[in-house]
Amino acid sequence: MTAEDFLSGQVLLIDKPLHWTSFQVVNKLRWEIRQAFNIKKIKVGHAGTLDPLATGLLVVCAGKKTKEINIYQGQIKEYTGTIILGSTTPSFDLETEINNTFPIDHISEELIYKTTQQFIGEIQQFPPVFSAIKKDGKRLYEFARAGEDVEIKPRTVSISEFEITNIMGQNVDFRVVCSKGTYIRSLANDFGKALNSGSHLSALRRTKIGDFSVENAISIDGFIDSLKG
């Protein structure tokens, strides 16, 4: 690939590693492209944030393709992951420590499968307070980390598939197909409430965005090697 290829526009499918922010991935790719082709300036952006504790498909647009970011952001997404039953965290995932524990003796496999049906279709969902959504010019996680209470309004999201793929003790593996704006962490938290217990997300991987699949994505190192090729 040449400098002109990137400037005229490229859509890059990156398999985001654990602990990286989506912003860090974009910065790294932009820097590597500029270094490889001696480009002073190039636009690079991603089409939908992944949390640092999530892995998987990050659609990154470079050059003139950044104008299409909104198109990709609005497409249907697929995730796989694991929910841990019986405990909650303030962030709804492993970013924060467990703050409450709940009984799970009443939860059968049949109840787990049956409860997924409550979340199919259009649902009202409260985003996690530990999220990058802005309110009054600040991101929600800034309020949360400062210990400040903040009112969060629910949003309408759509879930077309919520499939349980494995149950091993308190660990429930799942696959979800959902609309833009769906927080899987909130789904995990709400799922625990629906089971008259509590739960939080312990793993998350984005596998699809529209027609793009993580199977066709490359690692950051793989992308850097391709620039040298």
pLDDT in tens, 42-63: 999 999 889 899 999 999 999 9
Pairing of strands 77-85, 171-178: antiparallel
What is the per-residue pLDDT for 153? Answer: 83
Residue that is written with structure tokens 């939860």 in the block = 107
Residue (of 56, 52, 12) closest to 32 by Cα position:
12
Mean pLDDT across the chain:
92
Share of the chain above pLDDT 70, in %: 90
Rounded mean pLDDT, 14-32: 96
pTM: predicted TM-score of the whole model, two decimal places = 0.92
Residue 175 has pLDDT above 90, yes or no: yes
Chain centre distance of CA 38: 33
Q: What is the pLDDT of residues 102-152, one digit of tens each?
A: 999 999 999 999 999 999 999 999 888 766 666 666 666 666 566 666 677
Residue 34 has pLDDT above 90, yes or no: yes
> Which positions are catalytic?
51
